[in-house]
Amino acid sequence: MALVLEGVHFAYGERGFALSVPQLEIRPGESVALVGPSGSGKTTLLHLIAGILTPDRGRIALGDNDLTALGGRARRGHRLSRMGMIFQSFELLDYLDVRDNILLQARLAPGVAISSELERQASTVAGELGLADKWRRPITALSQGERQRVAACRALLLDPDLVLADEPTGNLDPANKQAVLDQLIQLCKRHQRILLTVTHDHSLLPSFDRVVDMASLLTAEVAAA
């Protein structure tokens, strides 16, 4: 299912940063890099798509689901069950092992039971991302690259329609950056998931199907007094 934004506008208060998205469509299975200078609204755009923020006007839809028509609880439920999010800081819990960090979003998602089948799925995803031998390893015992793979596994576990990644390789060395990104893109493409990634690293851009520059896509400005 495609991700579509139409006439989206959002502002932080009357005199704050404002962001307008006239039109954006991303097709199933497409990997898109979102680039632009700091402060141009990249993370704000991800938060609008995820339903963490709500636009002042406009429409954000994922397939037949109009996300802007959902209430707060419904948006959260949709985000947990149908979206995967990967953060630069990983957002892993140090007191949980690899298995339980991967299963964490599933525990929070409405209507999802932690069954033996879901655990098998988690183990399969971990194996695909090179973590088969780390299944019960404490998070604190992992390298930065391994931690990022755990975060990617958690985002992919529930077979989301959309994966949103905010600087997912920012804390990794060059070799790990490319390896993690290549695995993420391949897994999303194989299952026809949309991958939208914020990045400042232009060396990674050839790996994506499409690069979207905030300057050409968006109108971002300080709201008039």
Q: What is the pLDDT of residues 93-116, one digit of tens each?
A: 999 999 999 999 999 999 999 999
Q: How far is CA 177 from CA 9, 45, 117, 202, 209, in A?
A: 33, 23, 31, 12, 17
Q: What is the pLDDT of residues 17-38, one digit of tens each?
A: 889 999 999 999 999 999 998 8
DSSP reduced 3-state for 92: coil
Is the pLDDT at 164 greater than 50? The verdict is yes
Fold adopted by 3-222: Rossmann fold (3.40.50)
CA distance 189 to 125: 14
Q: What angle do CA 114, 62, 105 make, to 5 degrees?
A: 20
pLDDT at res. 13: 80
Is the pLDDT at 122 greater than 80? The verdict is yes
Q: Which residue has the higher pLDDT, 217 or 189?
A: 189
Is the pLDDT at 224 greater than 60? The verdict is no
This prediction has a pTM of 0.90
pLDDT at res. 8: 94
Is the pLDDT at 171 greater than 90? The verdict is no
Q: Which residues of 96-107 are buried (b: 16+ CB within 10 A; e: fewer)?
A: ebbbbbbbbbbe
Mean per-residue pLDDT of the chain: 90
pLDDT band at residue 46 using 50, 70 and 90 as cut-offs: very high
DSSP 7-74: EEEEESSTTSEEEEEEEEEE-TT-EEEEE--TTSSHHHHHHHHHTSS--SEEEEEETTEEGGGS-HHH
